[in-house]
Amino acid sequence: MALQELTYRDALRKALADAMTENPDVVIIGEEVGRYGGAYAVTKDLIKEFGGERVIDTPISEPAIVGAAVGAALAGLRPVAELMYVDFIGMTMDQLANQAAKIRYMFGGQIGVPMVLRTQGGTGRSAGAQHSQSLEAYVMHTPGLRLAMPATVADAYHLLRQALTKPDPVVFIEHKALYTLKETVDLDAPVPDWGKVAIRRQGRDLVIVTYSRQVHYAMEAAKKLAAQGIEATVIDLRTLNPLDFDTIRAEVEKTGRAMVVSEGVMTAGVAAELSARISEECFDFLEDPVIRVAGEDIPISVSTVLETGSVPGPQLIVDTALKLLTGRVAA
C-alpha cells in the first residue's frame, strides 16, 4: 500500500470498515453510532455501507449497550460497543467487570467474550469534570480485561484491528484530543505485535514511560531536553494490559533513571502501578527514585487554563527531568 495521509479518526473508521468487510460477525452497538455517525464521527457513513442490522443505534443507556454486547459476544458475534465518554464506564462495571471479564474463568475456559468496548477519555475540549477524566486505571485494575490506548494514527488502525481478533474483552480508549491528529502512514509497514511497546526515541540518560496523548508531549519534551544535552528514551506502552514490562525493564537498566507520565490522577493511578513495578524489579540498577508525572487529584475544570494546568504538559516533563538529573529546572 502506498503512503497515505490519515487522521486518527480516519484510521479508526478504516479499521472498523476493514474488519466488518472481512468478518460478517463484527457489529457496532452504541448511542448515535449509526445515522449520526458517532459522537466524534468515527462511525460516520458506516451504516450506509453495512446497514442498520450491523451498525445499531441504541437508547441512551450505557449498561444496556455493554450488556447487549456481552450477550452478543456469547452468542457468537464480535460486537464493538461504543461509549461516548469513558466517564460513563462506572455505570457499566457490572456488565464489564463482573460479567465480561470473568466469564472465561467462571466457565473453565470453555467460552469467552470476544468484544471490544470503544470509548474516549482525557482532557482538551473544556468538557468539564464529568466528561474529561482518564479512567484507564479502573480497567487496568480488573483482571480479565485487556486495555489498548493508541497514541499514533498507525496504532489507532493496527491496535483496533488486533483487538477485533482477540478472544476476550478489550477496552479501547481513544484520547479525545487526538481525533484530528494527521500523519502520513503506510498501513502495510511492520508494526509491533499486540502487547509490545514501541520505543519512539532512544536515549542514554533517562527513560520516559507513557502512553496515549502523553507520548506526543514526552517526545516534545525529549527534544527540548536534547537541546540541553540530556537524551531521553521515550517508551509508548500502546497496551496497558498486556503490559510489555520486559522491554521497560531492559531500557531502565540501561539508563538507571525512569519517569512515568500519565494523564490520569496521581493517587492509585497507572503511574503509581508502573513506578512501583519499576522500583521493585529494577532496584539494583536505579541511580535515583522513579518519578511520577501525573494529573492533579482534582476534578477537571471547564476553564481552559485550569484544565491545561491539571494534567502534565511538555514543560512539566522537561522541568521534572531536569530536576531529576541536574537538580535544577528550566529558566
Residues serving a catalytic function are: 62, 131
Question: How far apart are the C-alpha atoms of 62 and 183, rounded to whole Å?
Answer: 32
The C-alpha atoms of residue 34 and residue 226 are separated, in whole angstroms, by 47
219-237 in b/e form (b: 16+ CB < 10 A) is bbbbebbeeeebebbbbbb
Q: Output the nine-digit C-alpha cell for 115.
A: 468484544
Residues 6+ apart with CB under 8 A from 107: none
Q: How far apart are CA 126 and CA 113, in angstroms?
A: 35
Report the C-alpha gap between 323 and 318 in whole angstroms.
9
Give all strands (DSSP E) within the chain, no chain letters. Answer: 4-7, 26-30, 55-57, 78-82, 116-121, 146-148, 170-175, 182-185, 198-201, 206-210, 232-236, 239-241, 258-265, 291-295
| Cell digits of residue 180 | 484530528
**In Å, how far from its chain's centre is CA 8?**
13
The residues that bridge with 174 in the sheet, in sequence order, are 120
Nearest to 172 by CA among 196, 192, 155, 154: 155
